[in-house]
Structure 1
């Protein structure tokens, strides 16, 4: 069953759903693109690792540490050698803890040379809401565009968070952009409103080569169905909240779709 929304489903933007969606999006997009670019190219799923500083008030948010000291472990500490304790003349503060946030992206590579031909990115909260994450991502993007001949596809399906600083960007809820090396500094741009259908975008390869297509709307419907999202994403409100008129519109769309318990 496809998503009831004509374009992006705003309920997928919830923080509890987004990571699952992002993973499914990258995996499915890799399959769709890979089938169109073989045998000359292949698609790899790679991973950025963003490091977010966790200040003292936020440290309880850290999860899945590799090493931890649990209550009661004090008894396992090495026994004292019996020598006198030597006091240090001063102390220093350890650096703030960091949280590792992985984010997947795609690389289209030449099968013979292994050269990266195109990078496909789906933005996440780490790219938009975190100052450090925004800077890390934006610097990598600028280096790719200025120092390589690789193409760039950037897709933003999150209403929340500030937009990245692309020049002359039109107002929109979502967007896709496609950067081809011969056209720089201009980058093709598809702005999309909440109630509009997501576009089918080209995936650039090398100049004068046929470009595979990625139907973003079909991808959303496929992931929505495969993830069984209709069973649980409507238990919470969209994040961020929808404007009043759009909230009424969304409820009207959902009434025939709400699953019975």
Structure 2
């Protein structure tokens, strides 16, 4: 069964599941880009300014543009954005379809069998309007 959410599934953020989700998603990303690149090392970039107010953020930092970076923000109700994966300067940047990778992880791991959509996710929704929206979505899909 596919995830009922159009983008990020907040139920996957449950601490009981997140370690496995994170591990599988990182593996899926590595598998998706492995034919295009070889893994490279580097230091993480510190965040020097305010993070935009989105539910989820993807920070893209190119070594030749630091301290500048690009922030891709999206809400719970949106599909997860594709983003370019920075490599060495001058190299073609592969696009990472994180939405597709996460949906594949969800299906292969059978998370639909591990998640009880009757209850609120852990951690709970931050905004009441997201809780109402998710309840309506899950009702429409027969999961509540």
Specify the TM-score bucket, using the shorter chain as the normaliser: 0.7 to 0.9
TM-score of the aligned structures, taking structure 2 as reference length: 0.86
1:244 pairs, out of 96, 121, 128, with 128
Structure 1 CA distance for aligned equivalents of residues 76 and 48 of structure 2: 20
Q: Deviations over 1:158-205 (max 9, x none)?
A: xxxxxxx54132111110011111111101110111111111111111
Larger radius of gyration: 1
Q: Say which structure, 1 or 2, has more relative contact order (CA 8 Å, 6+ apart).
A: 2
Q: Is the 8 A contact 2:24 2:105 kept in 1?
A: yes
| Equivalent residue, structure 1, for 2:22 | 22
2:135 match: secondary structure: helix
Structure 1 CA distance for aligned equivalents of residues 134 and 114 of structure 2: 16
Q: Deviations over 1:129-179 (max 9, x none)?
A: xxxxxxxxxxx635xx7xxxxxxxxxxxxxxxxxxx541321111100111
Structure 2 CA distance for aligned equivalents of residues 212 and 191 of structure 1: 19
Runs of 5+ consecutive residues of structure 1 not aligned to the other structure? 42-107, 110-115, 119-139, 146-164
Runs of 5+ consecutive residues of structure 2 not aligned to the other structure? none
1:7 match: secondary structure: coil
2:44 pairs, out of 132, 141, 148, with 141
2:34 match: secondary structure: helix
1:171 match: secondary structure: coil
1:223 match: secondary structure: helix
Q: Matches of residues 107-256 of structure 1 in structure 2 within 5 Å?
A: 108-109=39-40, 116=41, 141-142=44-45, 165-234=47-116, 236-242=119-125, 243-255=127-139, 256=141
Q: Is the 8 A contact 1:230 1:258 kept in 2?
A: no
Q: Is the 8 A contact 2:2 2:112 kept in 1?
A: no
The structure with the greater share of residues assigned to helix is 2
Number of positions where the alignment pairs a residue of Structure 1 with one of Structure 2? 141
The structure with the greater share of residues assigned to strand is 1
